Each structure stands twice: as C-alpha cells, then as structure tokens.
Structure 1
Amino acid sequence: MTALAGDPLQESKALQGRLLVLLAGVFWSLAGLFLRAMDSAGDWQVVFYRSLTLVVFLALVLAFRDGRRLPQTLSAAGWTPVLAGFFLSFAFVCFVTSMTRTTVANTLFLLSAAPFLAAFLGWIFLREGVRRATWVAMAVAMLGVGVMVGDGLARGAPLGDLLALGAALAFALFTVTLRRKPGADMLPTTVYAGLFAMLWSGPAALATGQGLAVSTHDLLLCIALGVVQMGCGLIAYIVGARHLGAAECTLLSLSEVVLGPIWVWWVFSEVPASMTLAGGGILLAALAGNALSGLRRRRPPLGAV
C-alpha cells in the first residue's frame, strides 16, 4: 500500500522507520570500538562468543515474540533462511578477522560495497533488472574499492582488505538468497548464522591455539558485541525497514560506515590513511548517489523490507 501524501499516521510510521534504521547503523558502528578495546582475545574467540551471545539473545526474543509457535516459525521458513544464515556466518567471520588485520575505516568502507555486489549477483542468478544509475554507481564504487585495496597493498596489509571484501561478498550472497523468498523472517536467519559461525570459530580457536578461555573484561565486550552491536542493531533495522523502501534503508544505514571510523579515531586515535579516505569517499558517494536516484524515481511503498 502506497503512503498517501499528508496522511499523519503513515508519515509517523515512516519517520519512526527512518529513526530506527538510523539507530541500527549507530549500533552496528560500535563494532570497531568494542574490538579495539579488547585486552587479549583472539579473533576466533571474539567470533565464537559474539555469535553465542547473539544466538541466545535472539532465541529469547523469538521465544518472547512467538511463544509456543516458535517451532512452527522455524519449520515454516524452509531451507532459505538456513542457506542465508550459512552465507551470513561467513560475513560475521570475515568482518571480525578483517578488523583485526586492517583499520576499522578500511573494513567498513569495503563492506559498504555489498549492495552493489548483491545487485550484480541478483542480475546473474535471479535475472533481476539493474537500473542504469546502479550500473554507473557500481563502476564508480569499483574505482573506490581499487583505491582502497591498492592502499592496503602499499601498507603491507592486503589480507585485512581482502577479508573485508569477503565479508561484502558473503553479505551479498546472503541478500540474494533471501530475495528468493521475499518477506522471509530475518530473525531466524540470524540465529542460524550465529550457530554456523560458532561451528567455524570454535574449532578454529582450538586449532590455532587461542582456545576458548578469555578474560572477564573481553567476555563482557563480546557480550556487548552480540547483544548491543549486532542484536539490537538487527532488531532496530528489521522493525524500521518495514516502513521504508530499500533505497532509503541503504542511505540511512550509511551511519554505520560514517560513524565507525569516527569512534575509533576519537577513542583510540586510529587515523585512516589519506588513500583510505579517498577510496572510501568515492565508494560512499556511489552508494549515496544510487540510493538518492532510487528515492527520486518513485516514492517507496510502505511495508517494503
């Protein structure tokens, strides 16, 4: 149903949606801050405990929301959320391991290429049409990615940038998988993602000698990552996105990419390199331009996710 101009109720819902999606980006932007505050926890330990906390938190939310209908909710969704969760778990792993190997700015800027990768993969696998403006934006975004990856090579830290691109690709595959079943419930998908991420990170932590023993300080930060940064961010985004179009959601969630480097610069004096800022600026301009062109094209329908 399209929002009627001047309808106070619909305008109020749209405003609430914008605030919630913006808030989701703020929650997500805290990842680098929490990770930089860790004392000694390794990347695989962080992935494991963040995923464990996320699973417990979202399972409680689902149980509160669905009650006795929870088993039916999980079974009715079919295999699509499971496969989507599988891809999302790789994004979880690549995201954290990238941040431990490069700057927060590099990770977040490169991760913001995910919408363009999703558009490209949707065009290939789902035969979804891609607007001319999006093709142009993708070309510009690739220029920004090239500048940032080249900077990573020059600094001798290419692995972190490649992992960030891996996170973007995994998130794009997650998005395309969900498009096969529009309207799929995101919360069960994220629970599956957390479970898969635990399956990857637990054995990896043991195999690499990190083990699963962490300090109380680091464990509390992992819990904050699972509940506040990821869990609360997802809930705010899912609820807010119901009242907005995809272009507006993309634009508002850029708060994560903008605020993330600012937090770690403010608290830990981690200053992004000039080439990182240049490439990130090009990528953000492409993303914002594509979203704004989508907003100008037509007013987004209410209820779009």
Structure 2
Amino acid sequence: MTHRGAVLTMVGVTLMWSIAGVVTRHLEAARAFEVTFWRSGFNALALLLLLAWLRGPAPLWRTLRGGGRMLWLSGLCWSVMFTAFMVALTLTTVANVLITMALAPLFTALLSRVLLRHALPLRTWGAIVVAGIGIAWMYGQQVSAGDARHLLGTAVALGVPIAAAINWTLLHHHRDDADVDMLPAVLIGATLSALLTLPLSVPFAASAHDIGLLALLGVVQLAIPCLLAVTAARVLSAPEAALLALLEVVFGVLWAWWGANEAPGVAVLGGGLLVIGALAGNELLSLRRPRPA
C-alpha cells in the first residue's frame, strides 16, 4: 500500500466507523448489552470469514493457538473497546461518546511515556492541558445538570480510549516483529465481547429490523474498517494515523445531527472543539518535525 493509498484508506475507515451512532438511534427494541452482543457476534463471524480467506484456515488457527500473550492482550483490548463503545451509545449522546474516544492519542502518549520511556514534547503536554479543560467543560455541565445517565455513559465511554491506548502501545512496540500477526486479535476481541454480553442479553428483545441494522454495524462499521485500519497503520506514522482517526468524531457528530436530529449542546460543542483542536494541533506540529537522517 502506498502512502497516499493509506491516507485514503483511513478516510474511508473513519467514514465507516462513524455510522455507528446514527444507526443505533434507529433501533426499535434492542437493549444495551443485546446491541453489543449482536454487533460483536456479526463482527466475529465476518472477521472469521475474512481472515480465513486472507490467511487460510490452517494458518489462522495456528496463529490463534500460538500467537502468544501479546496477541491475546490486544484481543482483550479490542473486546473492551467494542463493548464499552456500544453500551455508552445507549446511555449518552453520540457526541459525548465520540469526543471522549478522541482522547485515545493523548492517553497513548502518556502510556508510552510511562511504559516505553518515550519523552513527551512540550506541545503534547500543552495539548493534554487544553483537552483536559475541554473535557472538564463538557462533564462539568453534566454534573451541574445532575444527569446521572449521561455521566454514566461518558464514564463507560472512557474505557474505549484507555483500552485503545494500551492496544496501540502494544501494536507500536511489536510493529517491527514480522513473526507477530496482530490481525487475528480483532477476531479475538469480537468473540470475547459477544461471549461476555450473551448472558446479559437474555431474553432477547431485538426485532428483525434491529438485527439487520446490527449486522450492518458488525460487518460494514466494524469488521472491514478495523482490518483496513491495522493494515494502513503499517504505512502511516503514528501522528498521521491519529490525526486521520479524528475524522470519525466529525463525521459521527454530523451523521447523528443529520440522521437522528441529535444536535450537540453548547458545552459539548465548546468542550469538543477544545479537545479536537488540541489533538489536531499536536499531531500537525508533530508532522512538521524534521525527520531524522
């Protein structure tokens, strides 16, 4: 894949990722954990077929059996991301969830500082401060309004960027290891998410309409773009990938506004602009650094 192809691929990936909120708003009867179960189940089925086609059934099975601790840790991270994201969407607004998820690059930077001893430049510390102000503005409004449901939703959504930060740190640490195939980790994550939420989904309430929409999310919104994102990450630098991934927030809020009449409030818009501006500024400044010889 060329660099330009990787950039265009990530734009397409964010478009596919961004439809989750607006599609969820058109469900009829499915509840929080049942929504997660069906989406993760269809995701796991699609990934199993795609990876068996890409890798072959026997090599895929060997990877799952002998992939080692790192593969399964990454799979656990994907499972937390898949589960927390959908549960949060049933508790709070699309904008709250997506802006909270956008904190993943900053959490990744902090985790890299602690675990990999990567020095953080001044611009990243500044972005952390500005983004923190934006998040405090958003959540402070919810606290003052006494809306426990939205607060719970945003707290659950925090699990996504935390798990993503751990996952990207693992992928970055092993990206030069040709013997480690991390694509099956997405399949492991989807399977674990479906298994964990199955007991909490009974008795099922989803209609045929709901199952059709959740199948769309599992395949088009999750399975295909996740595989494409992992592939594009091998070509793009970390700042480029993080910057392009922010498009999901923009696209997702616009989809929910247009397709579900879910207009974000003043605090969400103001705090969200601070968060996105801090992240975008940090990544753009990173791209302007001279490359080492």
1:50 alignment partner AA? R
CA contact (8 A) 2:6 2:236 kept: yes
1:205 equivalent in alignment to 2:197: no
1:279 alignment partner AA? G
Of 1, 8, 14, 1:25 maps to 14
Moved more, 249-258 or 269-278: 249-258
Of 241, 246, 250, 2:238 maps to 246
Aligned to 1:160: 153
CA contact (8 A) 1:30 1:263 kept: yes
TM-score by length of 2: 0.92
Q: Deviations over 1:224-254 (max 9, x none)?
A: 1110001121123223333221111111121
Change (3 A) 1:299 1:61: farther
Moved more, 125-134 or 190-199: 125-134
Query: What's the CA shift for 1:150?
Result: 1.1
Aligned to 1:14: 3
Change (3 A) 1:238 1:27: same
Q: State how far apart, in whole Å, the 2-side matches of 1:99 and 1:115 are.
A: 21
Q: State how far apart, in whole Å, the 1-side matches of 2:107 and 2:215 are.
A: 30
Aligned to 1:262: 254
Moved more, 186-195 or 24-33: 186-195
CA contact (8 A) 1:91 1:171 kept: yes
Q: State how far apart, in whole Å, the 2-side matches of 1:114 and 1:193 are.
A: 18
Aligned to 1:283: 275
Moved more, 160-169 or 53-62: 160-169
1:73 alignment partner AA? T
Query: What's the CA shift for 1:114?
Result: 1.1
CA contact (8 A) 1:88 1:170 kept: yes
Query: What's the CA shift for 1:199?
Result: 2.3
Q: State how far apart, in whole Å, the 2-side matches of 1:185 and 1:151 are.
A: 44
Query: What's the CA shift for 1:69?
Result: 1.9
Of 117, 130, 150, 1:127 maps to 117
4+ residue runs of structure 1 moved beyond 3 angstroms?
177-180, 183-186, 298-301
Aligned to 2:51: 62
Q: Which runs of 5+ in 1 are unaligned?
A: 1-11
- The two structures, once aligned, show a CA RMSD in angstroms of 1.9
Q: How does 1:84-103 map to 2 (within 5 A)?
A: 84-103=74-93
Of 174, 186, 193, 2:167 maps to 174
Q: Which runs of 5+ in 2 are unaligned?
A: none
Query: What's the CA shift for 1:185?
Result: 3.2
CA contact (8 A) 1:89 1:197 kept: yes
Of 139, 150, 166, 1:149 maps to 139
Q: State how far apart, in whole Å, the 2-side matches of 1:202 and 1:171 are.
A: 23
Q: How does 1:37-52 map to 2 (within 5 A)?
A: 37-52=26-41
1:41 alignment partner AA? A
Q: State how far apart, in whole Å, the 2-side matches of 1:168 and 1:249 are.
A: 15
Q: State how far apart, in whole Å, the 1-side matches of 2:107 and 2:231 are.
A: 24
Query: What's the CA shift for 1:75?
Result: 3.6
Query: What's the CA shift for 1:76?
Result: 4.3
Q: State how far apart, in whole Å, the 1-side matches of 2:174 and 2:10 are.
A: 22
Query: What's the CA shift for 1:142?
Result: 1.1
Query: What's the CA shift for 1:71?
Result: 2.3
CA contact (8 A) 2:34 2:197 kept: yes
Aligned to 1:220: 212
1:165 alignment partner AA? L
Q: Deviations over 1:243-268 (max 9, x none)?
A: 22111111112110001011111112
CA contact (8 A) 2:29 2:205 kept: no
TM-score by length of 1: 0.88
Query: What's the CA shift for 1:299?
Result: 5.1
Q: State how far apart, in whole Å, the 2-side matches of 1:17 and 1:150 are.
A: 38
Q: Percent identity?
A: 35
Aligned to 2:185: 189
1:104 equivalent in alignment to 2:100: no
